[in-house]
Amino acid sequence: MSNGKIAIVTGAGTGIGKSVATALLKAGWNTVFVGRRKSVLEEAIAAAGPCEARALAVACDISKADQVDELFAEVIATFGRVDLLFNNAGVGYKSTLIDEIPVDVWEDVVGVNLTGSFLCARAAFGAMRRQNPQGGRIINNGSVSAHAPRPGSVPYTTTKHAITGLTKTLALDGRPFDIACGQIDIGNALTEMAVPMTQGVPQANGTIAPEAVMDVERVAEAVLYMAGLPLDANVLFMTVMATNMPYVGRG
């Protein structure tokens, strides 16, 4: 059964975003699948199968302010409100030392991971603040890289540390408007992007080694828990990770 609530998930065509958007849809959330390629979004919705809740695919480059404004205008015109934003869309880059990273790569990663998250949070906050009943929840996808970098990951790690600042500030600024904001920091969920981890990736000690991974469904379950809380409660930060990944300890 649909719960009547409206969720927006960015980067919903593949990976973590697809898994979370599908889980929300099956749990009764009317869910907006957002990404750059509408055909991929429609395939993700079709793969979810029949659901009581409604799914909508909207193509959007979240690094573009005008497209984000159009996205939220379409959602509000269709559903009337926004109850949840999962700020998930993100890009990375191969392991590279800072002096070999092209400036356009830096700008692209910052544009999607940070500016895109800001633009979507800005639009969601505005909608949640002005709707009746007021309020909603924003969940930012941080990453374990919000706490500890991988070698050669300056653009990605910098943006994920910045997401923590966005989360904390929104959690504070949202209080008068019943807007909760939290962050999920994910470690080694097995998506297409994470396949190289099973084969070998650079470690802090200079070696190349495979790492433990976990099923991406564990992330979806965690986000569902965060999303399902009443607005007087909030998971400010949650870390969900493959148990045996080399995160806790000395490198």
DSSP string, 144-210: GGGTSPPTT-HHHHHHHHHHHHHHHHHHHHTGGGTEEEEEEEEE-EESGGGHHHHH-EE-TTS-EE-
CATH 3.40.50.720 for the 6-241 domain, yes or no: yes
Residue 11's alpha-carbon distances to 57, 148, 244, in angstroms, are: 11, 23, 27
Q: How far apart are the first and last CA of the chain?
A: 48
Q: Which of 93, 156, 225, 247 is catalytic?
A: 156
Q: How confident is the model at residue 138, as a pLDDT? A: 99
Q: Indicate if the pLDDT at residue 251 is higher than 80.
A: no
**Percent of the chain scored above 90 by pLDDT?**
92
Classified as helix, coil or strand, 243 is coil
pLDDT interval class at 60 (50, 70, 90):
very high
Give mean pLDDT, residues 4-8: 97
Q: How confident is the model at residue 194, as a pLDDT? A: 82
Q: Which amino acid is at 109?
A: V
Give mean pLDDT, residues 191-216: 90
Domain ranges, ordered by start, for the chain: 6-241
Q: Count of CB atoms within 10 A of residue 100's CB?
A: 8
Q: What is the mean pLDDT of the chain?
A: 96
Q: How confident is the model at residue 126, as a pLDDT? A: 98
Give mean pLDDT, residues 194-201: 88
Lowest-pLDDT choice from 27-31, 175-179, 206-210, 235-239: 206-210
- Phi, psi for residue 107 in degrees, rounded to 5: -65, -35
Give mean pLDDT, residues 34-55: 97
Give mean pLDDT, residues 228-243: 97
Q: Give residue-wise pLDDT tens across range 95-138.
A: 999 999 999 999 999 999 999 999 999 999 999 999 999 999 99
* Annotated catalytic residue 156: yes
Cα 10 from Cα 85, distance rounded (Å): 8
Give mean pLDDT, residues 67-96: 97
Q: What is the pTM of this model?
A: 0.95
Q: How confident is the model at residue 249, as a pLDDT? A: 82
